[in-house]
Amino acid sequence: MTVDMNGAINYAKQFVGKVPYSMEGPRDPEKGTADCSSFVYWSVVRGGGAKPWEQSYAPSTMTMPKWLYDNGFELIADYVEWNMQKGDIVIWGDPNNSYGAAGHTGICLDNQNWIEETGYADNVIISNHDDRLAMNGYPYWQVFRVKKSSEPKPVSKPQTPSDHDKAVAASKVVHQGNAYGKLERFKFVGNSKVNIAGWLVPDKPEGPIGKYAEVLIMEHGTNKELTRVASQGIKRPDVKKAYSYKGGDALGMDVTVDLSWVKKGTKIDVILRRCNQSNGEGAVNDVRIKDIYLTL
C-alpha cells in the first residue's frame, strides 16, 4: 500500500502550536510532547498509513531513512537543489552523525513551506523551508519522496545516440529483491563494443552483498542471457552515503564488452549482479535494468 502523504499532512496540521518540543519522552504528539523525528514519524504512520518500524519508540533522524525505504520512499536529493513538492520529507544533518540536536526533519507542504516540530519555536510550526535552512547555516540535507505506484513506462526506441544517452542519464534507480541499482552509462565504443557502467547497493544498511561484481548482457524482452563480464568494484562513496550502507564503498561497475558476434539488430539490456562465485554464479544481488535497451 502506498503511503498517503496528504493524510499525513492533514494529521500533522492539527498539532500546529499545540505540542511543546522535547527530545525526552513520550515523543508522541498525542501524548503531549514530541521532537522533530517523532512528529514526522507519527504523522506518516497515523495519518499516512505507513508501517511502523521495528521498535516501540519513534526513529531518530539517523534511523529514519531505513524506515522510509521500507515504506516505499526513495532518496531524490542528496545535498543538492531539488524541486520541492508536497509530501517530501527532508532530513537535515550528516547522515552518519545526526543524533539529537545535530539533525532535524519536517514534511513539505508545497514548493516553499514545510511543517516541523522544532526547538527553535518550542512547538509545531509552518515555516519557509529555505529560510529555516539558512537560519541553521545550510546543514547537509537529504530528501525522500514516495515512489510512484505505477511502473515506469519502457523507454521508447532512441532515435539517435544522443537521445539514448539522455534516456540512460534520466533513468530511475531500480529496486529489485534486496538491492538498488542504477544504470549510468550504456553506449557504443567503436562499432561493436559496448561500455556499461552503473552501481548496485543493498537496500538495507547491513544487507548482504556478493564478493564479485558482474554485468550480464540480456536479450531484451526475454530471459535469455547472451554473455556476462566481470567488473572490478569501483569506489562509490556517494552511493554508500546516500543509502546509509555500512559495508564497503566499492559499489560501482564499469565494463566494456565486444558484441560483434551478436546478430545485428538484437536489442539488449543488462543485469547488475553481485555474487559469491568468480564465474558470476551464486547471485546475492541482482538488479535488471529492463526499461533501457540498446539496439546492436
How many separate domains does the chain show? 2
Q: Is residue 155 part of a domain?
A: no
- Residue 64 sits in the same domain as residue 131: yes
CB 205 within 8 A of CB 222: no
pLDDT in tens, 212-264: 999 999 999 898 999 999 999 999 999 999 888 999 999 999 999 999 999 99
The answer on pLDDT for 156 being more than 80 is no
Query: Which residue type occupies 25?
Result: G
Please choose, from the candidates 205, 244, 240, 212, the residue with its C-alpha nearest in 3D space to the C-alpha of residue 228.
212
pLDDT, greater one: 199 or 97 = 199
- Residue 172 sits in the same domain as residue 91: no
Q: Whole-angstrom Cα distance, residue 115 to residue 132?
A: 11
| CATH number of domain containing 198 | 2.60.40.10
Q: Among 39-43, 174-178, 208-212, which is the least confidently predicted range?
A: 174-178
- Residue 216 sits in the same domain as residue 283: yes
Q: Is residue 141 part of a domain?
A: yes
Q: Is residue 156 part of a domain?
A: no
**Plot region of 9 (φ>0 → left; ψ -120 to 50 → alpha; else → beta):** alpha
Q: Is residue 46 part of a domain?
A: yes
- Residue 80 sits in the same domain as residue 203: no
Q: Which three cell numbers stand for residue 256?
A: 566494456
Domain that holds residue 167: 161-295
Name the residue with cell 496540521. Answer: 13
| CATH number of domain containing 136 | 3.90.1720.10
pLDDT for the residue 162: 66
- Work out the pLDDT band at 99, boundaries 50, 70, 90: confident
The answer on pLDDT for 150 being more than 60 is no
CA-CA-CA-CA torsion sign (1, 89, 81, 97): negative
Q: Is residue 154 part of a domain?
A: no
- Residue 242 sits in the same domain as residue 274: yes
| CB neighbours of residue 247 within 10 Å | 14
Q: Which three cell numbers stand for residue 192?
A: 561493436
The answer on pLDDT for 123 being more than 80 is yes
Task: Compute the average pLDDT of residues 19-39.
Answer: 94
Q: Whole-angstrom Cα distance, residue 120 to residue 93?
A: 16
- Residue 165 sits in the same domain as residue 236: yes
pLDDT for the residue 160: 56
- Residue 101 sits in the same domain as residue 186: no
Q: Whole-angstrom Cα distance, residue 240 to residue 250?
A: 9
